[in-house]
Structure 1
Protein backbone atom coordinates (compact mmCIF):
# COMPACT_ATOMS: atom_id res chain seq x y z
CA UNK A 1 0.00 0.00 0.00
CA UNK A 2 1.34 3.47 -0.71
CA UNK A 3 2.62 5.59 2.14
CA UNK A 4 3.07 2.62 4.50
CA UNK A 5 6.12 3.07 6.74
CA UNK A 6 8.75 0.44 6.12
CA UNK A 7 11.43 1.48 8.60
CA UNK A 8 9.50 3.33 11.28
CA UNK A 9 11.70 4.74 14.01
CA UNK A 10 14.90 4.63 11.98
CA UNK A 11 15.70 8.27 12.82
CA UNK A 12 14.25 8.28 16.34
CA UNK A 13 10.51 8.81 15.86
CA UNK A 14 8.36 7.17 18.54
CA UNK A 15 4.79 6.01 18.48
CA UNK A 16 2.52 3.03 18.17
CA UNK A 17 0.42 1.70 15.30
CA UNK A 18 -2.86 3.56 15.02
CA UNK A 19 -4.94 0.40 15.31
CA UNK A 20 -3.19 -0.45 18.61
CA UNK A 21 -4.18 2.96 19.99
CA UNK A 22 -7.78 2.36 18.86
CA UNK A 23 -7.76 -1.07 20.54
CA UNK A 24 -6.52 0.52 23.78
CA UNK A 25 -9.30 3.08 23.68
CA UNK A 26 -11.94 0.41 22.99
CA UNK A 27 -10.54 -1.63 25.88
CA UNK A 28 -10.94 1.41 28.12
CA UNK A 29 -14.55 1.81 26.98
CA UNK A 30 -15.26 -1.90 27.55
CA UNK A 31 -15.02 -1.40 31.32
CA UNK A 32 -12.99 -4.39 32.48
CA UNK A 33 -12.80 -5.33 36.15
CA UNK A 34 -10.24 -3.02 37.75
CA UNK A 35 -9.11 -5.30 40.58
CA UNK A 36 -6.15 -7.45 39.46
CA UNK A 37 -6.73 -11.17 39.04
CA UNK A 38 -4.05 -11.93 41.64
CA UNK A 39 -6.30 -10.45 44.35
CA UNK A 40 -9.04 -12.75 45.64
CA UNK A 41 -11.72 -10.19 44.84
CA UNK A 42 -10.54 -9.85 41.23
CA UNK A 43 -10.46 -13.61 40.73
CA UNK A 44 -13.93 -13.99 42.24
CA UNK A 45 -15.36 -11.25 40.03
CA UNK A 46 -13.92 -12.81 36.86
CA UNK A 47 -15.10 -16.30 37.80
CA UNK A 48 -18.58 -14.97 38.54
CA UNK A 49 -18.65 -13.21 35.17
CA UNK A 50 -17.56 -16.38 33.36
CA UNK A 51 -19.84 -18.83 35.19
CA UNK A 52 -23.06 -17.01 36.08
CA UNK A 53 -25.09 -18.40 33.15
CA UNK A 54 -24.84 -21.44 30.88
CA UNK A 55 -24.19 -19.07 27.95
CA UNK A 56 -21.29 -17.44 29.83
CA UNK A 57 -19.80 -20.86 30.69
CA UNK A 58 -20.04 -21.93 27.04
CA UNK A 59 -18.38 -18.68 25.91
CA UNK A 60 -15.61 -19.15 28.49
CA UNK A 61 -14.97 -22.68 27.22
CA UNK A 62 -14.89 -21.42 23.64
CA UNK A 63 -12.41 -18.74 24.74
CA UNK A 64 -10.02 -21.35 26.12
CA UNK A 65 -10.98 -21.93 29.78
CA UNK A 66 -11.03 -25.73 29.69
CA UNK A 67 -11.14 -26.75 33.36
CA UNK A 68 -13.91 -28.85 34.88
CA UNK A 69 -16.95 -27.39 36.61
CA UNK A 70 -15.72 -28.95 39.86
CA UNK A 71 -12.44 -27.02 39.60
CA UNK A 72 -14.31 -23.78 38.86
CA UNK A 73 -16.51 -24.30 41.94
CA UNK A 74 -13.40 -24.97 44.08
CA UNK A 75 -11.77 -21.77 42.83
CA UNK A 76 -14.95 -19.79 43.45
CA UNK A 77 -15.29 -21.22 46.97
CA UNK A 78 -11.65 -20.46 47.71
CA UNK A 79 -10.74 -24.05 48.64
CA UNK A 80 -8.23 -24.23 45.78
CA UNK A 81 -6.08 -21.60 44.10
CA UNK A 82 -5.46 -21.56 40.35
CA UNK A 83 -1.89 -21.80 39.05
CA UNK A 84 -0.28 -18.91 37.16
CA UNK A 85 -1.06 -20.65 33.90
CA UNK A 86 -4.73 -20.97 34.87
CA UNK A 87 -4.84 -17.36 36.07
CA UNK A 88 -3.60 -16.29 32.64
CA UNK A 89 -6.24 -18.52 30.99
CA UNK A 90 -8.98 -17.02 33.19
CA UNK A 91 -7.87 -13.48 32.34
CA UNK A 92 -7.67 -14.26 28.62
CA UNK A 93 -11.11 -15.90 28.65
CA UNK A 94 -12.59 -13.03 30.66
CA UNK A 95 -11.29 -10.38 28.25
CA UNK A 96 -12.44 -12.37 25.22
CA UNK A 97 -15.94 -12.92 26.60
CA UNK A 98 -16.21 -9.32 27.78
CA UNK A 99 -15.23 -8.03 24.33
CA UNK A 100 -17.82 -10.25 22.67
CA UNK A 101 -20.50 -9.12 25.11
CA UNK A 102 -19.92 -5.38 24.73
CA UNK A 103 -19.06 -5.26 21.01
CA UNK A 104 -22.60 -4.76 19.71
CA UNK A 105 -23.35 -2.13 22.37
CA UNK A 106 -20.09 -0.26 21.66
CA UNK A 107 -20.69 -0.26 17.91
CA UNK A 108 -24.17 1.20 18.36
CA UNK A 109 -22.90 3.74 20.88
CA UNK A 110 -20.06 4.88 18.61
CA UNK A 111 -22.20 4.94 15.45
CA UNK A 112 -24.81 7.11 17.22
CA UNK A 113 -27.55 6.45 14.65
CA UNK A 114 -25.32 7.51 11.76
CA UNK A 115 -23.95 10.68 13.38
CA UNK A 116 -20.69 8.97 14.29
CA UNK A 117 -18.06 9.85 16.87
CA UNK A 118 -15.27 12.40 16.65
CA UNK A 119 -11.81 10.84 16.71
CA UNK A 120 -8.75 12.88 17.66
CA UNK A 121 -5.47 11.64 16.23
CA UNK A 122 -2.31 12.78 18.00
CA UNK A 123 0.73 12.48 15.69
CA UNK A 124 3.88 10.53 16.38
CA UNK A 125 6.56 11.92 18.67
CA UNK A 126 9.46 13.39 16.69
CA UNK A 127 11.33 14.99 19.58
CA UNK A 128 14.29 12.61 19.12
CA UNK A 129 14.50 13.13 15.34
CA UNK A 130 17.11 15.61 14.07
CA UNK A 131 15.63 18.83 12.65
CA UNK A 132 16.32 18.24 8.95
CA UNK A 133 14.63 14.83 9.09
CA UNK A 134 11.46 15.95 10.91
CA UNK A 135 8.31 16.15 8.85
CA UNK A 136 5.38 18.45 9.55
CA UNK A 137 2.71 16.37 11.26
CA UNK A 138 -0.16 17.94 13.14
CA UNK A 139 -3.05 16.99 15.36
CA UNK A 140 -6.04 15.87 13.29
CA UNK A 141 -9.70 15.21 14.00
CA UNK A 142 -12.05 13.02 12.03
CA UNK A 143 -15.71 12.08 12.42
CA UNK A 144 -16.12 8.31 12.03
CA UNK A 145 -19.65 7.27 11.13
CA UNK A 146 -19.19 3.50 10.67
CA UNK A 147 -17.58 1.63 13.54
CA UNK A 148 -18.94 -1.84 12.84
CA UNK A 149 -15.84 -3.20 11.09
CA UNK A 150 -13.42 -1.75 13.65
CA UNK A 151 -15.39 -3.01 16.65
CA UNK A 152 -15.90 -6.46 15.10
CA UNK A 153 -12.16 -6.83 14.46
CA UNK A 154 -11.39 -5.66 18.01
CA UNK A 155 -13.90 -8.08 19.52
CA UNK A 156 -12.46 -10.97 17.50
CA UNK A 157 -8.89 -10.00 18.46
CA UNK A 158 -7.94 -9.87 14.77
CA UNK A 159 -5.07 -7.38 14.57
CA UNK A 160 -4.69 -7.62 10.78
CA UNK A 161 -8.34 -6.81 10.17
CA UNK A 162 -8.22 -4.01 12.75
CA UNK A 163 -5.16 -2.56 11.00
CA UNK A 164 -6.90 -2.76 7.62
CA UNK A 165 -10.04 -1.12 9.04
CA UNK A 166 -7.94 1.65 10.61
CA UNK A 167 -6.06 2.32 7.36
CA UNK A 168 -9.35 2.45 5.44
CA UNK A 169 -10.56 5.03 7.95
CA UNK A 170 -7.37 7.13 7.95
CA UNK A 171 -7.38 7.35 4.14
CA UNK A 172 -10.21 9.88 4.60
CA UNK A 173 -7.61 12.32 5.96
CA UNK A 174 -6.41 12.99 2.42
CA UNK A 175 -3.10 12.59 0.65
CA UNK A 176 -1.07 12.62 3.88
CA UNK A 177 -2.87 9.71 5.54
CA UNK A 178 0.37 7.67 5.78
CA UNK A 179 1.69 10.12 8.36
CA UNK A 180 -0.96 8.83 10.78
CA UNK A 181 -0.17 5.13 10.51
CA UNK A 182 1.88 5.59 13.70
CA UNK A 183 0.55 7.88 16.43
CA UNK A 184 1.13 8.74 20.06
CA UNK A 185 -2.56 8.53 20.90
CA UNK A 186 -6.01 8.17 19.40
CA UNK A 187 -8.81 9.62 21.48
CA UNK A 188 -12.57 9.26 21.27
CA UNK A 189 -15.34 8.98 23.79
CA UNK A 190 -18.86 7.68 23.64
Structure 2
Protein backbone atom coordinates (compact mmCIF):
# COMPACT_ATOMS: atom_id res chain seq x y z
CA UNK A 1 0.00 0.00 0.00
CA UNK A 2 1.48 3.36 -0.92
CA UNK A 3 2.32 6.08 1.62
CA UNK A 4 3.75 5.22 -0.13
CA UNK A 5 6.34 7.43 -1.83
CA UNK A 6 8.66 7.32 1.13
CA UNK A 7 11.31 9.64 -0.28
CA UNK A 8 9.20 11.87 -2.50
CA UNK A 9 11.28 14.60 -4.13
CA UNK A 10 14.58 12.79 -3.73
CA UNK A 11 15.35 13.13 -7.44
CA UNK A 12 13.71 16.55 -7.88
CA UNK A 13 10.04 15.75 -8.47
CA UNK A 14 7.60 18.38 -7.25
CA UNK A 15 3.95 18.16 -6.31
CA UNK A 16 1.46 17.97 -3.48
CA UNK A 17 -0.51 15.09 -2.01
CA UNK A 18 -3.64 14.35 -4.02
CA UNK A 19 -5.94 14.75 -1.01
CA UNK A 20 -4.50 18.25 -0.36
CA UNK A 21 -5.32 19.25 -3.93
CA UNK A 22 -8.86 17.90 -3.47
CA UNK A 23 -9.25 19.83 -0.20
CA UNK A 24 -8.16 23.03 -1.97
CA UNK A 25 -10.69 22.44 -4.73
CA UNK A 26 -13.49 21.74 -2.24
CA UNK A 27 -12.53 24.91 -0.35
CA UNK A 28 -12.90 26.88 -3.59
CA UNK A 29 -16.32 25.38 -4.18
CA UNK A 30 -17.39 26.16 -0.60
CA UNK A 31 -16.97 29.89 -1.20
CA UNK A 32 -15.35 31.13 1.98
CA UNK A 33 -15.22 34.82 2.85
CA UNK A 34 -12.29 36.31 0.93
CA UNK A 35 -11.51 39.24 3.24
CA UNK A 36 -9.03 38.20 5.97
CA UNK A 37 -10.23 37.96 9.56
CA UNK A 38 -7.65 40.59 10.57
CA UNK A 39 -9.57 43.26 8.60
CA UNK A 40 -12.69 44.66 10.29
CA UNK A 41 -14.93 43.76 7.35
CA UNK A 42 -13.73 40.13 7.36
CA UNK A 43 -14.12 39.88 11.12
CA UNK A 44 -17.66 41.25 11.02
CA UNK A 45 -18.65 38.93 8.17
CA UNK A 46 -17.41 35.90 10.10
CA UNK A 47 -19.02 36.99 13.36
CA UNK A 48 -22.36 37.59 11.64
CA UNK A 49 -22.12 34.17 10.00
CA UNK A 50 -21.38 32.52 13.36
CA UNK A 51 -24.07 34.39 15.33
CA UNK A 52 -26.95 34.79 12.88
CA UNK A 53 -29.09 32.10 14.55
CA UNK A 54 -29.20 29.95 17.65
CA UNK A 55 -28.11 26.94 15.57
CA UNK A 56 -25.09 28.89 14.23
CA UNK A 57 -24.08 29.93 17.76
CA UNK A 58 -24.25 26.32 18.98
CA UNK A 59 -22.16 25.15 16.02
CA UNK A 60 -19.62 27.93 16.67
CA UNK A 61 -19.30 26.90 20.32
CA UNK A 62 -18.83 23.26 19.32
CA UNK A 63 -16.18 24.40 16.84
CA UNK A 64 -14.16 26.10 19.57
CA UNK A 65 -15.43 29.69 19.85
CA UNK A 66 -16.07 29.67 23.60
CA UNK A 67 -16.39 33.33 24.49
CA UNK A 68 -19.33 34.80 26.38
CA UNK A 69 -22.30 36.38 24.64
CA UNK A 70 -21.28 39.69 26.17
CA UNK A 71 -17.86 39.50 24.52
CA UNK A 72 -19.42 38.60 21.18
CA UNK A 73 -21.77 41.58 21.43
CA UNK A 74 -18.85 43.89 22.25
CA UNK A 75 -16.98 42.63 19.19
CA UNK A 76 -20.03 43.05 16.97
CA UNK A 77 -20.66 46.58 18.29
CA UNK A 78 -17.02 47.52 17.73
CA UNK A 79 -16.43 48.35 21.40
CA UNK A 80 -13.67 45.75 21.69
CA UNK A 81 -11.45 43.88 19.29
CA UNK A 82 -10.48 40.22 19.61
CA UNK A 83 -6.94 39.22 20.49
CA UNK A 84 -4.82 37.33 17.95
CA UNK A 85 -5.65 34.11 19.72
CA UNK A 86 -9.38 34.82 19.49
CA UNK A 87 -9.02 35.87 15.84
CA UNK A 88 -7.53 32.44 15.16
CA UNK A 89 -10.40 30.80 17.04
CA UNK A 90 -12.94 32.82 15.07
CA UNK A 91 -11.29 31.80 11.80
CA UNK A 92 -11.14 28.11 12.80
CA UNK A 93 -14.76 28.14 13.98
CA UNK A 94 -15.88 29.87 10.79
CA UNK A 95 -14.09 27.36 8.54
CA UNK A 96 -15.47 24.42 10.51
CA UNK A 97 -19.05 25.69 10.55
CA UNK A 98 -18.95 26.72 6.89
CA UNK A 99 -17.64 23.30 5.84
CA UNK A 100 -20.35 21.54 7.83
CA UNK A 101 -23.05 23.78 6.36
CA UNK A 102 -21.86 23.37 2.77
CA UNK A 103 -21.04 19.64 2.89
CA UNK A 104 -24.54 18.36 2.12
CA UNK A 105 -24.90 20.75 -0.81
CA UNK A 106 -21.48 19.83 -2.20
CA UNK A 107 -22.21 16.13 -1.84
CA UNK A 108 -25.35 16.44 -3.93
CA UNK A 109 -23.56 18.62 -6.45
CA UNK A 110 -20.62 16.21 -6.83
CA UNK A 111 -22.62 12.96 -6.84
CA UNK A 112 -25.19 14.41 -9.29
CA UNK A 113 -27.76 11.68 -8.57
CA UNK A 114 -25.29 8.91 -9.37
CA UNK A 115 -23.81 10.48 -12.52
CA UNK A 116 -20.75 11.71 -10.65
CA UNK A 117 -18.22 14.39 -11.49
CA UNK A 118 -15.33 14.28 -13.93
CA UNK A 119 -11.98 14.58 -12.14
CA UNK A 120 -8.72 15.53 -13.86
CA UNK A 121 -5.44 14.28 -12.42
CA UNK A 122 -2.52 16.49 -13.40
CA UNK A 123 0.64 14.46 -12.75
CA UNK A 124 3.54 15.56 -10.61
CA UNK A 125 6.16 17.88 -12.09
CA UNK A 126 9.23 15.91 -13.16
CA UNK A 127 11.01 18.68 -15.07
CA UNK A 128 13.91 18.64 -12.58
CA UNK A 129 14.25 14.84 -12.55
CA UNK A 130 16.98 13.28 -14.70
CA UNK A 131 15.74 11.05 -17.54
CA UNK A 132 16.68 7.67 -16.05
CA UNK A 133 14.69 8.43 -12.87
CA UNK A 134 11.54 9.80 -14.50
CA UNK A 135 8.29 7.88 -14.24
CA UNK A 136 5.86 7.59 -17.09
CA UNK A 137 2.91 9.48 -15.62
CA UNK A 138 0.26 11.06 -17.80
CA UNK A 139 -2.70 13.35 -17.40
CA UNK A 140 -5.72 11.20 -16.49
CA UNK A 141 -9.46 11.69 -16.29
CA UNK A 142 -11.84 9.73 -14.11
CA UNK A 143 -15.57 10.04 -13.43
CA UNK A 144 -16.06 9.81 -9.65
CA UNK A 145 -19.57 8.77 -8.64
CA UNK A 146 -19.25 8.37 -4.85
CA UNK A 147 -17.98 11.40 -2.95
CA UNK A 148 -19.51 10.63 0.45
CA UNK A 149 -16.35 9.65 2.36
CA UNK A 150 -14.24 12.40 0.76
CA UNK A 151 -16.71 15.20 1.52
CA UNK A 152 -17.36 13.93 5.05
CA UNK A 153 -13.63 13.82 5.86
CA UNK A 154 -13.20 17.31 4.35
CA UNK A 155 -16.12 18.68 6.39
CA UNK A 156 -14.66 17.15 9.57
CA UNK A 157 -11.22 18.61 8.71
CA UNK A 158 -9.83 15.07 9.05
CA UNK A 159 -6.67 14.99 6.91
CA UNK A 160 -5.92 11.34 7.58
CA UNK A 161 -9.49 10.34 6.75
CA UNK A 162 -9.43 12.50 3.62
CA UNK A 163 -6.16 10.91 2.51
CA UNK A 164 -7.54 7.43 3.10
CA UNK A 165 -10.87 8.19 1.37
CA UNK A 166 -9.23 9.84 -1.61
CA UNK A 167 -6.42 7.39 -2.13
CA UNK A 168 -8.12 4.12 -1.22
CA UNK A 169 -11.61 4.83 -2.59
CA UNK A 170 -11.05 7.11 -5.58
CA UNK A 171 -7.59 6.75 -7.10
CA UNK A 172 -7.67 2.94 -7.09
CA UNK A 173 -10.13 3.25 -9.99
CA UNK A 174 -7.23 4.58 -12.09
CA UNK A 175 -5.96 1.04 -12.46
CA UNK A 176 -2.64 -0.54 -11.63
CA UNK A 177 -0.69 2.74 -11.69
CA UNK A 178 -2.87 4.45 -9.09
CA UNK A 179 0.14 4.86 -6.77
CA UNK A 180 1.73 7.20 -9.31
CA UNK A 181 -0.99 9.75 -8.50
CA UNK A 182 -0.30 10.01 -4.78
CA UNK A 183 1.48 13.29 -5.59
CA UNK A 184 0.09 15.61 -8.28
CA UNK A 185 0.47 19.18 -9.44
CA UNK A 186 -3.29 19.66 -9.42
CA UNK A 187 -6.64 17.89 -9.17
CA UNK A 188 -9.34 19.57 -11.17
CA UNK A 189 -13.10 19.16 -11.15
CA UNK A 190 -15.94 21.51 -11.81
CA UNK A 191 -19.20 20.75 -10.13
TM over 0.5, shorter chain: yes
TM-aligned CA distance change 1:88 to 1:3, over 3 Å: closer
Distance 1:128 1:76 in 2: 51
1:22 — aligned with what?
22
Q: Secondary structure at the match of 1:42?
A: helix
Give deviations 1:119-141, integer Å, cap 9, x for gaps. Answer: 00100011111111111111000
Q: Secondary structure at the match of 1:186?
A: strand
**TM-score normalised to the size of structure 1?**
0.98
Q: Mapping of 1:125-164 within 5 angstroms?
A: 125-164=125-164
Q: Secondary structure at the match of 2:35?
A: coil
Q: Mapping of 1:1-190 within 5 angstroms?
A: 1-2=1-2, 4-167=4-167, 168-190=169-191
Q: How many pairs does the alignment contain?
A: 190
Q: Which runs of 4+ in 1 moved over 6 A?
A: none
Q: Secondary structure at the match of 1:50?
A: helix
CA drift of 1:2 comes to 4.8
Distance 2:111 2:26 in 1: 14
CA drift of 1:5 comes to 1.1
**TM-score normalised to the size of structure 2?**
0.98
Distance 1:152 1:11 in 2: 35
TM-aligned CA distance change 1:23 to 1:3, over 3 Å: closer
CA drift of 1:32 comes to 0.3
Q: CA RMSD, aligned part only?
A: 0.9
Distance 1:82 1:160 in 2: 32
Deviating more after overlay: 4-13 vs 172-181: 4-13
CA drift of 1:3 comes to 7.7
CA drift of 1:4 comes to 2.2
Give deviations 1:53-102, integer Å, cap 9, x for gaps. Answer: 01100000000001000000000111101011110000000000000000
Q: Secondary structure at the match of 2:143?
A: strand
